[in-house]
Chain A
């Protein structure tokens, strides 16, 4: 016990910088893909990613598909693409970094050399009227679980974020405008992203007038359900250097969780999964905030983003609202930390679409490749991702260009 808990400072981390992302593929995100299955979207993204990496079927010997509702399983994906030599396949839970970490460790350990990592999203029947009317979506359940109807007093993760937002307001006296700035930042960024679903400008007045869903959070504090898919090709950094001029490597990646992670039993806003992630990233990586050119705090709910800004150490607990004000770029209507570092330049889950972190990962790679077009952060070399929320899915990654 003593040895295990004595971890401090640098951690053993031989995988640092050893795995690279060499292929990207993505569908359009939309509020209704219209007559397409999640498998069809996953195929489109996966084939695009394999082509982007300059590879073909026989090169892919690992398949990792995150268990999003309705998404094809890894074995089904291998059959869809008829991949002939698969030696590793897995299906981690959402959100995005679980898949990234599984793919990385499979390659690093030698279980396989090159992984197709894919994610497919489909709006669930209760996400929208059109989704409810699609008979083929009827049996798609979150988590694939039993059909017991939820109770209003349920603390499923989405409600729990609202509940903890009430605690954040109570402890720090946060204002609705502090949450609103998160929504405004994402929308301003989404305006420059042709893949984003929400591309009409958003004002603070509009945020404050938006329909409340669960007080204290409104519709614009919650991500937008979409149909769509993202795919990535990963391989060893050594191989990546031979394949491409601009490999993006994973400097460090981690999950983070505390023991008491039942949503309503979380110790406090001062101790949850995000804190473990930050400690782990700092112990496993050699790059930190001063090195970061582009920041990707998860925004499935605005409260999660406030948490990431604070817990990464950009400001003190409760200070995210003021921090955003101080680093607000009036001209572009968004956060630019120190006038330089944007936050979710693709528009995040709030405005690009609810990809549960894959949009963040895709944009990080796109920025580090220098292929972000109108959104490009000048000379972006290092990206920091804080993915997932407070309970069981907090994750983080540092990506860099080599």
Chain B
């Protein structure tokens, strides 16, 4: 399990993100292909992106908590140009970027891309689930349409 990965090794696994003490759990989770979202142990609220406290009740007792990764597309755009990444070829076609509202809590959202779906199927309201892909040799959480619910 990635708990044993040192902070220094974690930074080396994800040279393309800014890792700090507030978000390191998120990326350790990626190494285990688990999506860990902070949850307040006092008021129960999930929050993302990671923060050092619970903005709702100001508790510091926040715990990285596995979530299902299931949700519904809330925002959807298609990049014709953008930042480079392995496996992203803007010449071949638009790269979808979606913000998914996770089923654990209204308004709790996670932004990534969608795989295994024709572009025409990717739209607001689409039910999705997690699909781990590879990005620079490390796991990266993406989404795909939920089977049978397309």
Partner of A148, one of B18, B79, B97, B108: B18
Contact between B76 and A148 (Cβ–Cβ < 8 Å)?
A: no
- Interface band, chain A: 20 to 34
A214 at interface, CB cutoff 8 A: yes
Chain A residues within 8 Å of B110, by CB: 264
A167-B124 contact given A149-B83, A154-B83, CB 8 Å threshold = yes
Distance in Å: Cβ of A66 to nearest Cβ of chain B = 24
- Of residues 199 through 255 on chain A, the ones whose CB sits less than 8 Å from some CB of chain B are 211-217
Among A148, A166, A211, A215, which residue has the most Cβ atoms of chain B within 10 A? A166
A146 at interface, CB cutoff 8 A: yes
Contact between B16 and A148 (Cβ–Cβ < 8 Å)?
A: yes
Among A152, A164, A216, A217, which residue has the most Cβ atoms of chain B within 10 A? A152
Cα A359 to Cα B79 with chains together (Å): 29
Partner of B97, one of A146, A153, A164, A262: A153
* B interface residues, how many (CB within 8 angstroms): 33
Contact between A163 and B77 (Cβ–Cβ < 8 Å)?
A: yes
Contact between B80 and A149 (Cβ–Cβ < 8 Å)?
A: no
Partner of A214, one of B78, B88, B125: B78
A213-B18 contact given A153-B97, A260-B107, CB 8 Å threshold = no
Cα A155 to Cα B109 with chains together (Å): 12
Distance in Å: Cβ of B61 to nearest Cβ of chain A = 20
Chain A residues within 8 Å of B16, by CB: 148-149, 151
Contact between B18 and A149 (Cβ–Cβ < 8 Å)?
A: no
Chain A residues within 8 Å of B82, by CB: 152, 159, 214
A153-B74 contact given A148-B16, A212-B80, A214-B82, CB 8 Å threshold = no
Chain B residues within 8 Å of A313, by CB: none
Partner of A167, one of B55, B75, B79, B83: B75
Contact between B99 and A264 (Cβ–Cβ < 8 Å)?
A: yes
Contact between B78 and A215 (Cβ–Cβ < 8 Å)?
A: yes
Cα A100 to Cα B125 with chains together (Å): 41
Contact between B75 and A163 (Cβ–Cβ < 8 Å)?
A: yes
7 closest Cβ pairs, A-B complex: A163-B75, A215-B78, A170-B124, A150-B83, A264-B99, A162-B77, A152-B82
User: 14 more A-B contacts (CB under 8 A) besides A151-B85, A215-B78, A264-B99?
Assistant: A148-B16, A148-B18, A152-B85, A153-B97, A154-B83, A163-B77, A164-B75, A166-B77, A167-B124, A170-B123, A213-B81, A214-B78, A215-B94, A260-B55
